Amino acid sequence: MASIVSIVTLSNILLILLLSSAAANAQLSANFYATSCPNLQTIVRNSMAQAVNRERRIGASILRLFFHDCFVNGCDASILLDDTATFTGEKNAAPNRNSARGFEVIDTIKSNVETACNATVSCADILALATRDGVVLLGGPSWQVPLGRRDARTASQSAANSQIPSPFANLATLISSFAAKGLNARDLTVLSGGHTIGLARCATFRNRIYNDTNIDPNFAATRRARCPASGGDNNLAPLDSVPSARFDNNYYRDLVAQRGLLHSDQELFNGGSQDALVRTYSNDLATFLADFAAAMVRMGNISPLTGTSGEIRRNCRVVN
């Protein structure tokens, strides 16, 4: 009898441990700063509105920063750390060097947030909120941003070089790099719709416009005019062929018309598993916007630091 009681007790303890570890995995919550920084969302939104007014592209650049942050060891603001004589971070990894931008905007928002709520809000959460607000300001969907991320004390240039997908990748490789982050092929296809806004450098699409065969010839010729076969690496072209800088579903219409700018974009509509979903999004703006918002929450949940892990950085560019 005594042993049955202790088995029951033991299994209750195990159950409690199991439940509390499940709770520890659902750590982020939209009202995390409700009492510690009640004006946070207003401060970030106003700062982003000013930044987007100054330059519309900044909404795109911040969205890309968040993607590159989340994909390398989780959404922990590691991408914001500056290189120093003794520290090598992610900013100069190949996918970020000469193209990741928006750091000054994050600095401004952080300083506005510190004025209102000193040493309380992480840079990782500021980046997550600024990303959502940038998308909304460009005409995209809104979503509630789960909060409570903390900031990394480290960064990894080698992970940034190997884990951020390449614009030269094929569909199978793209699917597996998203799978490595707990995201599926549908997430890949809907999150790639982020390319409805923003610009890319010639070096990232040259091979496609000169060598790919699954490309609209008029589109290729137009893009070649500003992206020579050699030189002009940093010349910019819009990722979406209708350069409205509006967050819409034209990116998917482009793919159906073989006007994807990056090789990786066109891989989503090239006779493979994602063709049907691309067609759906090309015809159905509302479904794209709703699916994009939901997938952004999933991307924002990649391996956050919570509880007492990491820190609340004072300056987003350096560890405390």
CB of 24 to ligand NAG, least distance (A): 26
- What amino acid is encoded at 190 in this protein? V
Which 3 state secondary structure label does DSSP give 34?
coil
Q: Is 74 annotated as a binding residue?
A: yes
Q: Is 29 in the site for ligand NAG (CB under 6 A)?
A: no
Which 3 state secondary structure label does DSSP give 135?
helix
Q: Which is nearer to ligand NAG, 3 or 213 (CB)?
A: 213
Report the b/e string of 235-262 with b at 16+ CB within 10 A: bebbbbbeeebebbbbbbbbbeebbbbb
Q: How many residues bind ligand NAG (CB under 6 A)?
A: 7
Contact 44, 147 (CB under 8 A): no
Given 57, 64, 68, 110, the catalytic residue: 68
Please state the φ and ψ torsions of residue 311, each to the nearest 5 degrees.
-155, 170
Q: Is 199 in the site for ligand HEM (CB under 6 A)?
A: yes
CA distance 35 to 225: 55
Q: Is 111 in the site for ligand NAG (CB under 6 A)?
A: no
Indicate which single residue of 33, 37, 57, 150 sits in contact with ligand HEM (rule: CB under 6 A): 57
Of the ranges 89-97, 137-145, 203-211, 262-270, which one interacts with ligand NAG (CB under 6 A)? 203-211
Q: Is 119 in the site for ligand NAG (CB under 6 A)?
A: yes
263 among known catalytic residues: no
Q: Is 135 in the site for ligand HEM (CB under 6 A)?
A: no
Contacts of 25 (CB under 8 A, 6+ apart): none
Of the ranges 186-194, 206-214, 237-245, 288-296, which one interacts with ligand NAG (CB under 6 A)? 206-214
Indicate which single residue of 45, 56, 101, 186 sits in contact with ligand HEM (rule: CB under 6 A): 101
Q: Is 118 in the site for ligand NAG (CB under 6 A)?
A: yes
CA distance 137 to 247: 9
Choose the contact partner of 206 out of ligand NAG, ligand HEM, none; CB within 5 to 8 A by kind.
ligand NAG
Instruction: For the chain, give percent helix, strand, coil, nearest 5.
Output: 50, 5, 40
Length of the chain equals: 320
Indicate which single residue of 207, 222, 235, 306 sits in contact with ligand NAG (rule: CB under 6 A): 207
Q: Which of 127, 116, 114, 40 is nearest to 81 (CA)?
A: 127
Choose the contact partner of 110 out of ligand HEM, ligand NAG, none; CB within 5 to 8 A by kind.
none
Contacts of 298 (CB under 8 A, 6+ apart): 182, 183, 187
Binding stretches for ligand NAG (CB under 6 A)? 118-119, 206-207, 210-211, 229
Could you list the residues known to form a binding site, using ranges.
69, 72, 74, 76, 78, 90, 165, 195-196, 240, 248
Active site residues: 68
